[in-house]
Structure 1
């Protein structure tokens, strides 16, 4: 006969459910998904004729980065697919900047108006890399806050949804123990700051 679940078992089940929800939120609002959405909405609003080229570039960039991340984690070099340890971040930042440079080169003659956005994202990553010595800022939070603020003039409904999702994503990153509170708040501030800079330039 199966034992009757006790309070401790219920607590474990609740904790497991909370972790599963946090993981689902982190996947749904992953930087890859956020920047794909940003590209779709931004290109459709600004340069719809370059939609196919932009999606090909961003799709290829996401595939390259994801394969690299998967290989590093599978080989045991990274503890998680999020490059959770600060020592794992520098090579990730270098790869992201290299990929962004290729995307900028690909799009320069097809949708030059997107150049400011690519440069702003690259500058955000450089800032995060420089600060990595002292604080491992959340790239999940930075990506979502950047996209939400950058999209506000173009797709206010999507921007509002992004901003409203920030607390949930912050909770998810804390619940999964990928970041501390300062890293979550700092990541959100970093993304919002560079998005505001992008809007000023544009």
Structure 2
């Protein structure tokens, strides 16, 4: 696995629907659902610590030769990257608690934290797909806020999974497991807190 077979459409899907894009979208949309325009500010705070800071961490490691690319293909490298992501998301949770963020947005970030921790736990033994875990969790979380019609977004999750397999960055089992993990962790954690 790794150094995948290049397929232009699969590459565009993998890059365009990477975890950061999903995280930013779900954070802003959940903020809007929670408190309208004011909630978007909370969503932007979440997007910064859960999407932007982790991407800066990944890019720093990439520039310094610690891992190969922004998708961190090697499982061993993910064991370094994911704890850094967990720290950033945990800082966001602490900030939300201290600042009195809306319950729905706080629940979203706690669900993200739980999902990343679950991904890390699996990654210690096996290379699960972060792309499908994050996209699946995002669709479930948006469905819980906006209604079941959002679950049609699983078409995009399937495309993400296809792209990861087509690029040979993951097996079908790793992409499917990521999809299941994202939904199974993010949804119940969110529901337990709202």
Residue 188 in structure 1 maps to residue 176 in structure 2: no
Residue 55 in structure 1 maps to residue 59 in structure 2: no
Residues 111 and 190 in structure 2, CA contact (< 8 A), matched pair in contact too:
no
Distance in 2, Cα, partners of 1:52 & 1:196:
23
Residues 23 and 50 in structure 2, CA contact (< 8 A), matched pair in contact too:
no
What is the TM-score when the length of structure 1 is the normalising length?
0.83
Residue of structure 2 in register with 1:81 after alignment: 70
1:91 to 60, 80, 89: 80
Alignment of 1:1-202 (within 5 A): 19-48=7-36, 49-108=38-97, 109-156=100-147, 159-201=150-192, 202=194
Residues 20 and 52 in structure 2, CA contact (< 8 A), matched pair in contact too:
no
Residues 75 and 123 in structure 2, CA contact (< 8 A), matched pair in contact too:
yes
Is the alpha carbon distance of 1:131 and 1:81 closer, same or farther for their aligned partners in structure 2, counting shifts above 3 Å? same
What is the TM-score when the length of structure 2 is the normalising length?
0.86
Corresponding residue pairs, total: 186
Residue of structure 2 in register with 1:3 after alignment: none
Q: Which stretch shows the higher mean deviation, 67-76 or 186-195?
A: 67-76
Structure 2 residue matching 1:47: 3-state secondary structure: helix
CA deviations over 1:141-177 (Å, ceiling 9, x no partner): 0011101111113334872342111221111001112
Deviation, 1:55, is 0.6
Structure 2 residue matching 1:152: 3-state secondary structure: helix
Structure 2 unmatched runs, 5+: none
Structure 1 unmatched runs, 5+: 1-14
Computing the radius of gyration from Cα coordinates, the structure with the larger value is 1
Distance in 1, Cα, partners of 2:107 & 2:56:
27
Distance in 2, Cα, partners of 1:56 & 1:116:
14
Is the alpha carbon distance of 1:118 and 1:130 closer, same or farther for their aligned partners in structure 2, counting shifts above 3 Å? same
Deviation, 1:138, is 0.7
